Chain A
């Protein structure tokens, strides 16, 4: 049986191009232009899955994004995707899909037994059931019940596909490529605006793809083709099909997901971007998002073969598929009659139209009568039967306006039920843009009210349900949008003659009355098919005290899930309105949030994956480090050499070697990453006086000083050395990670607090590559490289700098030290960094010059008790806490942080203060971050005394060393402190943080 339900002609599929695909292991054939859903229906497959809670058989309900049921697992292996709607999958050669939420298979599903326990699986089932006993969580609830209720499976392998993002600015963005959207784009495009038109479907046309209409001299297909051709010819009009606007944010910023290759066979996708997220900034947005049809709520309205009437019409007209051959239509409006008429014309048989309205008349009603279709006015479907497919319906007359039957049941056999409860405008994006909705009693739907952004609405979204209204409304919206963005619209073209039936009226009808109260007996009146929420659940929720629509949503799950209640929200709140006896507008709606339809994580991540997650910054000497086996450490965004192990060396051995080389001979460090800021202007010294805690006015030209910066709260936030280049000019260095935030800080104060200061700050971090040499032989190495430079201590003392030539390169040399050894930091223009480094290595070879990384740098400075901001400090540490009172000026009238030092909290004696720690056992290296206590033997919880901030093995001292912040630590030198670790408690003595060369004699080599 191949495509037994395919019509012989008609539709927008190409019957010459057969496509092979597999569903649940079975091979089928469809045609180019099909969706997976239409191809399955063409093959008579209605049963696609099982429902969320009760595991009832479920089939295709709709034809588009509103589909609540037909979620499938698409593809296999790394590219598999769970829970994709079959109605939104373009068929491609080799497509493989399977049902979700079924075990062992969709035909025989064990969990369907849940249906027998339906009485206890009501609203709030999870909340009520899984409370006790707690131990069952891990054993039963999570592994078993969660699985039974879950949907598809997320892929476990890395996604091999490529995703990216693009930014687009337009004057007019049109969302929705139906008749209204096409007209809007045309109007704006002709006016000369830059236009973007997006549509989620595989082709433009919207509702016209599903209907037969004559527009002027053209039929619907010809008209769509003409429109698309004219738009494509406009150079500044961008057309994106297969593209869903999924999020509408402030300032007319919208996000669109374009599916670029999802419709292609696997072989044609290779190397191409699969999905692209477009970030759109639009001057004006025209929303022409159309409308979704509402189901009717009646007993057992969920069997496969019960579909939305408009979707039936889509399958017939667009895909050449008869979703059934014996159809019953159930409706509360005239427009749905067209589905019956079209199905009959395509060769199907409409056995009856059940219209819940008592008086029916109009063009479409007459047309149905003319086809000899039986119309039962004032009737409703009160029950259905059939196992995996609807087989018959039970209908009864109902009393007008009352909740009772007035006739006995009549059985009508059928294989398809088309239903229509009216149309709900797709207000999702409008609501996301913060627009308020207004309820329209006559059209029985919520319509957009006043927009909150620069925006127009058109088409069915705006309640323009006829084609004639859509074309006029669309053109007007597009022209208004163009005008609002400064363009002059062309004269409106004459309205074409349109042949379309009078769509008649609608009567609200939210739930079919029963002989027994809803919820009694076995029948279920489903409101939300995806979440298995019934009308009885909503009643129960109200009985249990939930009245707010937001609470009802959460308690009953109505409107959750991948479809976000596109077919259920309005029915649910109308039913709620009936129960509460409040008008619908008073009940209100739930909040619409992005995304409109699901977006994969891959698409949201775009190219920002792996190494692209964050920029990796490297110095000009980086390639040398890589070639010489450096291991790297992340410092901010920088990759800095961590240490340089030699073959066979452990980390410990490498660090010992590097540190001893600095202490005994000479080491070399790439220090290019330090932030550098040129500070210039007549008030530069005054500015530094206010920024740093110490005094700067009297620093001599050519001299360098170390400084600490605090925030207003008195807490240290950066440190570094600053050199005076001239009377009005300084070069500040910052920490590697703090460079950008320090510059921001300086600018903030200059621009907002002290605009009277004449100071300019210029970042020159990457103008200069910095090679730091340290150790007793540092002077000898520099002497070889800069024979002209006077390195005598008198003429080049500690904390000074010189300009000159080093290794033939123009350089600035700073005599500063972070190791405690004689040390020079040689700065050359960035591009010369590698040349300088190699010259230093060559000159130092005779002293066995040793490159060292950040880890050895940390050890060397810790031996000297020098802090690292962010390691010894954490934003709650004052200079005094660090024992650095010497750097806090008592004389300066003010500087940032000064007033905070006299606050009682910053002045209290038991603050955490920086100390050194020496473990009782010299080989014990405390873990950094270890908590410290004064007495490990007191009952738990033991009062915390502080924590270890830095801890290393010091080769120079032949033992472990640590720095720590300890409560009242400055007064506790000589006392014992304890680190209770897993399995053991380490005892240490509190000592001065300076552990090596306390006298500072080594600074001069």
Chain B
């Protein structure tokens, strides 16, 4: 690594990304907490979003407008396109009076996309989690560390992953992922 990533402007770091790595534009991200064993809650979420919230660990449920990533037994990250405010509002209305937490976290994390034949190797360099196809597949997500940055990793295709990291870690994580790919970029 030639230059210190924290002094390099963010745009310059992004420009140097090799094939197979990019930072996605903003997505709607809403953090939702509630009791999945309570059918009132589950039904209201379904009404508001069309989503059947996954109750199995590390699963992603896809809906029309957005998808829900399982984060913990009572926590999901809803991710979609469009307006965060309207998603928050429809959730607030549907869940009014219930014991829930709804937070617009669209700006909280940025999303990197890694793709191509080497994305599994990049993850093997970066995380202790088993991302082998036998253990992890499209429709799975997991909270882990990418190098030393907290992250959510979601598999979106056979050879494509989305990596959600906190914004403040984006230069570190972006530079790390780029570096992890270099070995393969040169040989491919």
A residues whose Cβ falls under 8 Å from a Cβ of B: 164-169, 194, 236, 271-273, 279, 281, 607-608, 610-612, 614-620, 622-623, 626, 638-639, 673, 678, 680-682, 758, 760, 762-768, 829-832
Contacts and interface: CB of A to CB of B under 8 A. Distances in A.
A766 B107 contact: yes
A757 B9 CA distance: 45
Contacts of A616: 5-6, 171-172
A612 B125 contact: no
B81 interface: no
A767 B101 contact: no
A762 B72 CA distance: 12
Nearest to B125: A166
Nearest to B108: A767
B1 A169 contact: no
Contact of B103 (A608, A619, A767): A767
Contacts of B74: 760
B176 A612 contact: yes
Contact of A678 (B4, B101, B127, B132): B101
Contacts of B171: 616, 618
A682 B103 contact: no
Contacts of B135: 169
A768 B5 CA distance: 22
28 contacts: A166-B125, A167-B125, A167-B128, A168-B124, A169-B132, A169-B135, A236-B134, A272-B183, A279-B128, A607-B147, A610-B1, A611-B1, A611-B6, A612-B172, A615-B148, A616-B172, A618-B168, A622-B6, A639-B6, A680-B100, A682-B99, A762-B33, A762-B101, A765-B108, A766-B108, A766-B166, A766-B167, A831-B26
A618 B179 CA distance: 20
Contact of B183 (A273, A617, A638, A832): A273
B15 interface: no
A623 B128 contact: no
A489 B99 CA distance: 52
Interface in B93-128: 99-101, 103-109, 121, 124-125, 127-128
B107 A615 contact: no
A770 to B, nearest CB: 12
Contacts, number: 113
A329 B172 CA distance: 61
Contact of B169 (A615, A681, A832): A615
A598 B74 CA distance: 47
A607 B122 CA distance: 13
Contact of A829 (B7, B106, B186): B106
Contacts of A762: 31, 33, 101, 103, 105
Given A281-B130, A767-B108, A626 B99 contact: no
A194 B136 CA distance: 14
Given A164-B125, A166-B124, A614-B148, A767 B105 contact: yes
Nearest to B135: A169
Contact of B108 (A194, A619, A760, A764): A764
Contacts of B124: 166-168
Given A762-B101, A764-B105, A766-B166, A615 B172 contact: yes
Contacts of B6: 611, 616, 618, 622, 639
Contacts of B105: 762, 764, 767
A617 B169 contact: yes
Contact of A830 (B33, B128, B167, B173): B167
B149 interface: yes
A486 to B, nearest CB: 11
A760 B101 contact: yes
Nearest to B183: A273
B73 to A, nearest CB: 11
Contacts of A610: 1
Interface of B: 1, 4-7, 9-10, 26, 31, 33, 74, 99-101, 103-109, 121, 124-125, 127-130, 132, 134-135, 147-149, 166-169, 171-173, 176, 179-180, 183, 186
A271 B184 CA distance: 12
Contacts of B179: 607
A458 to B, nearest CB: 25
Nearest to B31: A762
Given A273-B183, A611-B4, A766-B107, 18 more contacts: A194-B132, A271-B186, A279-B128, A281-B130, A610-B1, A615-B149, A617-B169, A620-B167, A622-B6, A622-B10, A678-B103, A680-B100, A758-B99, A760-B100, A765-B168, A766-B166, A829-B106, A830-B108
Nearest to A683: B99
B168 A767 contact: no
B5 A611 contact: yes
A281 to B, nearest CB: 7
A661 B7 CA distance: 27
B7 A626 contact: yes
A681 B99 contact: yes
B36 to A, nearest CB: 13
Contacts of A271: 186
B107 A623 contact: no
B1 A760 contact: no
B103 A626 contact: no
Nearest to A684: B101
Contacts of B167: 620, 766, 830-831
Contacts of A830: 107-108, 167
B155 to A, nearest CB: 15
Contacts of B166: 617, 765-766
A767 B186 CA distance: 37
A622 B180 CA distance: 25
Nearest to B168: A617
Nearest to B182: A271
Contacts of B10: 622-623
Nearest to A616: B6
A164 B10 CA distance: 25
Nearest to A639: B6
A766 B109 contact: yes
A681 B101 contact: yes
Given A760-B101, A767-B104, A617 B172 contact: yes
Contacts of B100: 680, 760
B89 to A, nearest CB: 14
B168 A766 contact: yes
Contacts of A167: 124-125, 127-129
CB-CB nearest 3 A-B residue pairs: A760-B101, A617-B168, A169-B130
